[in-house]
Amino acid sequence: MTCDMGDITVAVLAGGLGSRLAEETRVKAKAMVRIGDEPILRHIIRYYASFGVRRFVVALGYQGQSIIDYFTASDLAEVEIGDRDHDANPSRRRWRDDDMTVDLVDTGLDTENGGRIKRLAPYLDQRTFMLTWCDGLADIDLRRLLAFHNAHGRLATLSAVHPPARFGRLHLDGDRVNAFAEKAVDPDEWINGAFFVLEPAVLDYVEDDRTHWERQCLTRLAAEGELKAFRHESFWRCMDTLKEAQDLNALWRGGNAPWQVWT
């Protein structure tokens, strides 16, 4: 069954420890690290919303209260949630702005990322959904990504991106340096950019809270021919370290943030 952006719920995983960004995450969730005046989570939500997405569900874990505190103080309004037969999580809370809703769901402190996705299942309405992490920004055309997924008919699509260039390269002849090349992106190297489109059946690949999404679920989906890659050649950055957070802030302050497509 095909769908359009208005039908999509986006699941955002925001429960990890963020240990490589410990300078920031000792006191708050990684999703709350600021790019400019707003946390990266709000940038991600605004980006998806600019393509017409209206429903978000965020998986909380480590320092989850900092995310709740942010939304409590935000310009979104918290709303009461009526009892739902399938809602067994008393820690679920909802915020709304016009027709956009953001649900925050406690998925446990030590749950692996596959388990966090599974715990969000009751809020995904058994429909095609999108999934991303709380630490990546890109200028991916989400409508093209969804159209690609709808067309191939498999259970899962990931975004394939080029890793940012990190090091200059030496061309050696014995111990002589023949040439030095500045940092360059390898056009033949691809990694998972963590902008996914998924069918509900992928949740059957998650056994329990200990299931790791990449090592177990994606590996199995690939082996069964159910995983396709949408190649994204343009901007993508993750925020795993303080240096990467500083780089994203520099782009934002300089008015050169490719993900900033909203007004």
- Whether residue 9 is predicted with pLDDT greater than 50 in this model: the reply is yes
144 in a structural domain = yes
Beta strands in the chain (DSSP E): 9-14, 34-35, 38-39, 55-60, 77-79, 93-97, 100-106, 129-133, 136-138, 156-161, 169-173, 176-181, 191-192, 195-198, 227-232, 236-238
Q: What pLDDT shows up at residue 2?
A: 72
Do the Cβ atoms of 228 and 152 come closer than 8 Å?
yes
| Rounded average pLDDT over 48-69 | 95
Assign 85 a pLDDT band (cuts: 50, 70, 90): very low
Q: 136 lies in which domain range?
A: 5-253
Q: What pLDDT shows up at residue 184?
A: 65
Percent of the chain whose pLDDT exceeds 90: 69
Q: What pLDDT shows up at residue 165?
A: 72
**How many domains are there within the chain?**
1
- Whether residue 138 is predicted with pLDDT greater than 70 in this model: the reply is yes
Look at 2-6, 134-138, 144-148 and tell me which has the smallest mean pLDDT.
Answer: 2-6
Residue 167: helix, strand or coil by DSSP? coil
Instruction: Assign residue 204 the CATH number of its domain.
Output: 3.90.550.10
Q: What pLDDT shows up at residue 252?
A: 96
259 in a structural domain = no
- Whether residue 256 is predicted with pLDDT greater than 60 in this model: the reply is yes
Average pLDDT, the chain: 89
261 in a structural domain = no
Percent of the chain whose pLDDT exceeds 70: 89
- Whether residue 209 is predicted with pLDDT greater than 80 in this model: the reply is yes
Q: What pLDDT shows up at residue 166?
A: 67
List the one residue out of 108, 99, 113 whose CA is nearest residue 54. Answer: 99
- Whether residue 55 is predicted with pLDDT greater than 60 in this model: the reply is yes
- Whether residue 178 is predicted with pLDDT greater than 60 in this model: the reply is yes
Q: What pLDDT shows up at residue 187?
A: 72
Full-model pTM? 0.90
Question: Measured in Å, how far apart are the chain's first and last C-alpha atoms?
Answer: 32
